[in-house]
Structure 1
Amino acid sequence: MESLDAEGWARLFNDCRVSACHLEMRDHYAVAEELADVEKWRAGKWGPEQDAASKADWLDLMRATATRGVRIRRTRIISEPASEYIQFEHEGTPQNIAAGEEVHWLPRARASGLALPGNDCWIFDSATVLFNHFTGDGGWRGNELSTDPHVVELCTKAFESAWKLGTPHDEYILPRSAS
């Protein structure tokens, strides 16, 4: 297992010509880069400007990729009511959309009939899959690249099936727990 640095991520997107699709399936991520952001959000000291500033490099990469005509889509399969982390993520999604991503939300209960890969992944041009590995508590473990045609086909079909069942961000009302 490897762990891509910023240059590695940029290379994948810069080499991409047609599509970049991200399938997210966790209700909680605890990657080090976001921990302080989530704390500020939890304390009510977080808004669109802070979110955009925090992920400026990512948003710049998405804008550059979309400007070249690459279609960037993200499907998030989530439990309902939404976890605290998903609420944080949902509130930051407009910045991703403004940078050129399309985002769909799929309640986990509606995904039961789908054959899904075991890990979150990016699919580039239906030719390369980048799996993202996390610890049980959501910490970052690393990446794994695959160009195996069977793996790519499984992930592409899974993404497309989830995408079709999902709801576009601007139409999705995020259910929150009553607590």
Structure 2
Amino acid sequence: MTHLELRDTYGTSHPDFQDWADGVPIAGIAGRGRLDAWNDLTRFHVARGVVFRRARVISVPPSDYIRFEHAITPWSNLAGGEQVRWLERPKARDIPVSPCDFWQFDDHLVCWVYQSGHGEKAGYDLSEDAAEAKLCSAAFEAVWERATDHQEFALPA
């Protein structure tokens, strides 16, 4: 399963982001249990052999939301068994990608994810179009190949 994130802002109205912006430490935010359901879900599927790969293409300098996301990734993604990589947007400039974030479940099923201009969830579409699946797979693999693993990635200034 792959997930490509292309935005610099997601859900800034979410209480976790708001608390972080107000100075609450990441460990305190992570300890509240809001991440448990996702981590339990990914752990379950990873245990049965599903590989979760998430690639994030980010602007330089990164937005405050990306700084938050980078800080919480060990608790929100890695703890459930996801693999996460980061790629600065200038290093992705020649990769043909859709302008939409997506989840690709297999070689046939893509979930296009839409957000508002402020990064709030705005909807999604499921597609089994072979050309869209091929585009998503090629784009994700190209980003993944260039991206840096979370454990080794330091946010640029």
TM-score by length of 1: 0.82
Secondary structure, aligned partner of 1:125 = coil
Q: What amino acid does structure 2 have at the position aligned with 1:138?
A: G
1:94 counterpart = 2:98 = no
Secondary structure, aligned partner of 2:52 = strand
Listed as ranges, the gaps of 5+ residues in structure 1 are: 1-19
Question: 1:125 is matched with which residue: 106, 118, 139?
Answer: 106
2:57 is aligned to 77
1:171 counterpart = 2:152 = yes
CA distance in 2, matches of 1:42, 1:141: 23
Q: What amino acid does structure 1 have at the position aligned with 2:62?
A: A
2:12–2:18 Cα contact (<8 Å) kept: no
In the TM superposition, what are the counterparts of 1:16-165 in structure 2 within 5 Å?
A: 20-30=1-11, 32=13, 35-51=14-30, 53-95=33-75, 96-165=77-146
The number of residue pairs the alignment matches comes to 155
CA distance in 1, matches of 2:97, 2:154: 24
Runs of at least 4 residues off by over 6 Å: none
1:123–1:155 Cα contact (<8 Å) kept: yes
Secondary structure, aligned partner of 1:58 = helix
Residues 35-55 of structure 1, C-alpha deviations (whole Å, 9 max, x = no match): 211111112213235225222
Secondary structure, aligned partner of 1:75 = strand
CA distance in 1, matches of 2:44, 2:88: 30
1:7 is aligned to none
Secondary structure, aligned partner of 1:118 = coil
CA distance in 2, matches of 1:101, 1:77: 16
CA distance in 2, matches of 1:159, 1:140: 21
Q: What amino acid does structure 2 have at the position aligned with 1:62?
A: T
Listed as ranges, the gaps of 5+ residues in structure 2 are: none
CA distance in 2, matches of 1:87, 1:55: 18
Tell me the CA shift for residue 81 of structure 1: 1.3
1:24–1:120 Cα contact (<8 Å) kept: yes
